[in-house]
């Protein structure tokens, strides 16, 4: 998978290139996303009913994806964030989380293929 292929499927390469005009630098930043544990933190927080932690994790994930111009998954993270904003329970977020997680995992598989890891 090329960087263009990754962004054609997951976001906006032209927007990313407007911020960081080096494909090598973008690819290095994307590779760092493979080490990010925010999605796992979000899942744990939702499972335990911890609204403040779930909100922080969802908001962090949304921001990370927005900064990397991974727009499709970022929209799903935004939906989860808004479900948790001023919420008293994780109930609404728990309904949205599986959709986010599926899209996130698909994006991670593409990312692994892009950076040369196994696309499991």
User: What's the rounded Cα separation, in Å, for the pair 66 and 85?
Assistant: 18
pLDDT tens-place string over residues 62-84? 999 999 999 999 999 999 999 99
Q: Which residues contact residue 45 at a Cβ distance below 8 angstroms, ignoring those fewer than 6 apart?
A: 51, 53, 54, 57, 90
What pLDDT is recorded for position 119?
Answer: 39
Q: How confident is the model at residue 116 (pLDDT cuts 50, 70, 90)?
A: confident
Q: How far is CA 44 from the centre of its chain?
A: 16
Check residue 11 and give its pLDDT: 97
For the record, the structure tokens of 24 come out as 């090598």
Burial class (CB in 10 A: 0-12, 13-18, 19+), 48: exposed
Q: Which residues contact 26 (CB under 8 A, 6 or more apart)?
A: 3, 13, 16, 17, 20
Average pLDDT over residues 26-44: 96
The pTM of this model reads 0.92
Per-domain boundaries in the chain: 3-114
Q: Any idea which fold 3-114 has?
A: 1.20.120
């Amino acid at each position: 998978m090329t960087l263009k292929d990754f962004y054609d499927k997951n976001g906006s390469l032209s927007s990313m290139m407007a911020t960081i005009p080096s494909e090598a630098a973008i690819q290095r930043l994307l590779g760092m996303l493979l080490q990010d544990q925010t999605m796992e933190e979000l899942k744990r927080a939702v499972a335990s009913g911890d609204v403040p932690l779930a909100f922080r994790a969802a908001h962090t994930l949304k921001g990370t994806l927005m900064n990397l111009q991974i727009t499709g998954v970022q929209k799903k993270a935004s939906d989860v964030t808004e479900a948790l904003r001023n919420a008293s329970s994780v109930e609404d977020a728990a309904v949205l989380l599986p959709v986010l997680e599926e899209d996130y995992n698909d994006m991670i598989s593409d990312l692994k293929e892009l950076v040369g890891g196994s696309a499991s």
